[in-house]
Amino acid sequence: MENGSYWTPIRITFWVARFLHGHNCKKERAERTNGRPTADETLVLIEFWIKRVQEWCQGTKEFEKDQRLNIQKSHRGLYECRGRIQDDYPVYPPDKSTFTEKLVLLELITGSHA
């Protein structure tokens, strides 16, 4: 992840998940799911990686210090910053993560909300 892009772990996870969980490893060639990942599949994998990064930082000093942001787990299992604006809770990005750095860099470059 250090040298690759933000999308590298997401693409790799997608192909492994399709192979294993899509059961492409057990299907005949003609019955396998093919093609690029859909937007929905991509969002699921982005959430998967955000959860992993959040779990990795849980219990660290930085996470405890960031509790001032009123961090709470959502119904999707993601930590969110609960502020004064109702129904608008940004996902908590741990500071010391390469994944977070690349996610923020992607946001700055593209202006997208990945």
- The single-letter DSSP state of residue 86 is T
Give the pLDDT confidence score for residue 10 in this predicted structure.
75
pLDDT per residue as tens, the chain (114 positions): 556 666 777 777 787 877 776 666 777 777 777 778 788 888 888 888 888 888 888 888 988 888 888 899 999 999 998 877 777 888 888 877 777 777 766 666 555 554
- The Cα 113–Cα 93 span in angstroms is 13
